[in-house]
């Protein structure tokens, strides 16, 4: 697809906060409109002081959203805009706006809409160089990056305040390049239009009203996968056990408790799913009997009979509605490669991500992970210890390759 066609029809919400670089955003919006994108502009009150909404109204041919109470939709302007946006671009993103986003504040239409985002959010900071190097601002940027926000970093040069240094907002063309990259328009965007279902976190198998069997899974790996898949244009459903981490980009989420409930939720959403990723640490056993009344303590040993829970991953891989790609995880303490390969074959998976729990920085609760990805077609990729978000990107790269191969195969056949 030619570069001039890739933004056609794409739904982009541009948020303008209060910096002089707002004048450059007029050129960006104009270009996106010429590219055929459907562009909506929202502004903070300070943004409006630099460029009037009439300018953006004229460039986009659409009303500009300037306050939370603008009646765009029965659910409120912020939700209507968030539902509309395949991508949000905040340009310029001032120090103040970045600080608010890093802390979840929702005090104007732009910050509130970002809080409700369902897809990727691209931030284009612009400010004085001393503000840019301020450690508080840098900590906010690092926090936002860690949460999966995309950045197009400021460049160096003469600043509007008369000083020279880093802080100049990236040029409209550079921001547009980032937009092209994120929307997956250039690289083929293998996950655009794909449905990805991910299980995440622990399950709880209750013994009585106050006790359960569970494990320390944090759900961070599942959240990272959901985040990256959403940023690559996938329609993501995250089926999460209790207390599991949620991704920064809001994706559809179903909260479940037990393995049985997780299985039911997965089965209900399996038809139409292209990729299934079992990142949940599903309890392998549940108490055979649930006691409706709290079990009383006694001096004699308590014996519990446990029954195996359904293997969700295996039932997905062997289902009539089997997704094109099924990915499992294997948390191992023995020989990870051999154990994971056996699991890959036994469960009928396309890919398995093995974590060696004996390695520092791998496994439960950690923010990092080290992994070995094995595939049913002999793929083998070792991923050194890195943030879970980065591990998720490598896993999804492998998923994309399989999707490309399977659609190529279908076309050829």
- Piece in contact with ligand CTP (CB under 6 A), picked from 6-14, 89-97, 186-194, 329-337: 329-337
Pick one of 330, 372, 374, 395: the residue that binds ligand CTP (CB under 6 A).
330
Please state, in angstroms and rounded to a whole number, the distance separating the CA atoms of residues 134 and 224: 28
From 15-23, 65-73, 240-248, 277-285, span contacting ligand CTP (CB under 6 A): 277-285
Q: Is 313 in the site for ligand CTP (CB under 6 A)?
A: yes
Closer Cβ to ligand CTP, 156 or 335, answer by number = 335
Q: Which of 278, 323, 336, 375 binds ligand CTP (CB under 6 A)?
A: 278
Q: Is 213 in the site for ligand CTP (CB under 6 A)?
A: no
Counting contacts by CB under 6 A, is residue 198 touching ligand CTP? Answer: no
Minimum CB separation of residue 258 from ligand CTP in Å reads: 10
Residues 125-184 that bind ligand CTP (CB under 6 A): none
Stretch that binds ligand CTP, among 166-174, 213-221, 278-286, 373-381 (CB under 6 A): 278-286
| CB distance 137 to 94 below 8 Å | no
- Selecting among 26, 106, 161, 385, the annotated active-site residue is 161
Q: Which stretch binds ligand CTP (CB under 6 A): 20-28, 36-44, 234-242, 326-334?
A: 326-334
Query: Using CB under 6 A, which of 274, 311, 356, 400 touches ligand CTP?
Result: 311
Which distant-in-sequence residues (6+ apart) come within 8 Å of 334 by Cβ? none
**For 350-354, which contacts have Cβ atoms below 8 Å and span 24 or more sequence positions?**
350/325, 350/326, 350/375, 350/376, 350/402, 351/325, 351/326, 351/327, 351/375, 351/376, 351/379, 351/395, 351/398, 351/399, 351/402, 352/327, 352/328, 353/327, 353/328, 353/329, 353/391, 353/395, 354/329, 354/330
What part of residues 341-370 is at the interface with ligand CTP (CB under 6 A)?
Answer: 343
Site size toward ligand CTP, by CB under 6 A: 15
Query: Shortest Cβ distance from residue 225 to ligand CTP (Å)?
Result: 11
* Candidate residues 171, 284, 367, 390; the one interacting with ligand CTP per rule CB under 6 A: 284
The structure tokens listed for 308 are 């195996």
Residue of 25, 121, 249, 331 that binds ligand CTP (CB under 6 A): 331
Whichever of 235 and 332 has its CB closer to ligand CTP, that residue is 332
Contact between 337 and ligand CTP by CB under 6 A: the answer reads no
- CA 145 – CA 135 distance, rounded (Å): 15
- Segment interacting with ligand CTP, rule: CB under 6 A, options 105-113, 167-175, 286-294, 309-317: 309-317
254: β partners = 239
Catalytic, 106? Answer: no
**Given candidates 112, 140, 214, 309, which one binds ligand CTP under the rule CB under 6 A?**
309
Minimum CB–partner distance for residue 377 and ligand CTP (Å): 19
Nearby residues of 182 by Cβ (< 8 Å), 6 or more positions away: 87, 120, 122, 150, 231
217-256 footprint of ligand CTP as x/- string (CB under 6 A): ----------------------------------------
What residues are paired with 287 via a beta bridge? Answer: 306
Which residue, 64 or 327, has its beta carbon nearer to ligand CTP? 327
Active-site residue numbers? 161
Per CB under 6 A, residues contacting ligand CTP are 199, 259, 278, 280, 282, 284, 309, 311-313, 328-331, 343
């Amino acid at each position: 697809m030619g570069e001039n066609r890739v933004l056609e029809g794409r739904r982009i919400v541009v948020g303008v906060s209060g910096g002089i670089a707002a004048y450059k955003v007029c050129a960006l919006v104009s270009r996106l409109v010429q590219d055929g994108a459907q562009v909506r502009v929202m502004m903070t009150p300070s943004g409006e002081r630099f460029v009037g909404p009439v300018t953006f109204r004229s460039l986009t041919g659409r009303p500009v959203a300037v306050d939370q109470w603008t009646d765009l939709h029965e659910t409120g302007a912020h939700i209507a805009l968030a539902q509309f946006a395949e991508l949000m671009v905040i340009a310029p993103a001032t120090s103040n706006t970045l600080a608010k986003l890093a802390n979840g504040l929702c005090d104007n239409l732009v910050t509130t809409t970002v809080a409700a985002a369902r897809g990727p959010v691209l931030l284009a900071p612009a400010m004085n160089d001393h503000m840019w190097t301020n450690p508080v601002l840098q900590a906010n940027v690092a926090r936002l990056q860690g949460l999966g926000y995309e950045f197009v970093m400021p460049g160096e040069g003469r600043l509007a305040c008369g000083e020279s240094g880093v802080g100049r907002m990236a040029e409209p063309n550079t921001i547009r390049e980032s937009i092209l990259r994120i929307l997956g328009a250039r690289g083929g965007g293998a996950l655009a239009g794909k449905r990805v279902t991910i299980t995440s976190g622990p399950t709880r198998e209750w013994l009585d009203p106050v006790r359960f069997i569970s494990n320390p899974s944090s759900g961070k790996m599942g959240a990272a996968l959901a985040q990256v898949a959403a940023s690559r244009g996938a329609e993501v459903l995250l089926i999460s056990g209790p207390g599991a981490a949620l991704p920064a980009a809001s994706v559809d989420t179903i909260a479940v408790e037990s393995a049985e409930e997780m299985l039911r939720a997965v089965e209900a959403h399996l038809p139409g799913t292209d990729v299934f990723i079992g990142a949940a640490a599903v309890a392998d056993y549940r108490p055979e009997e649930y006691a409706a009344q709290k079990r009383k303590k006694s001096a004699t040993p308590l014996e519990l009979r446990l029954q195996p829970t359904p293997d969700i991953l295996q039932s997905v891989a062997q289902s009539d509605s089997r997704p094109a790609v099924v990915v499992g995880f294997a948390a191992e303490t023995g020989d990870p490669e051999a154990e994971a390969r056996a699991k890959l074959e036994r469960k009928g998976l396309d890919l398995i991500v093995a974590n060696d729990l004996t390695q520092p920085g791998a496994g439960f609760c950690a923010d990092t992970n080290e992994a070995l990805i094995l595939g049913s077609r002999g793929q083998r990729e070792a991923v050194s210890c890195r943030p879970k978000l980065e591990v998720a990107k490598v896993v999804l790269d492998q998923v994309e390759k399989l999707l490309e191969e399977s659609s190529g195969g279908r076309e050829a056949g």
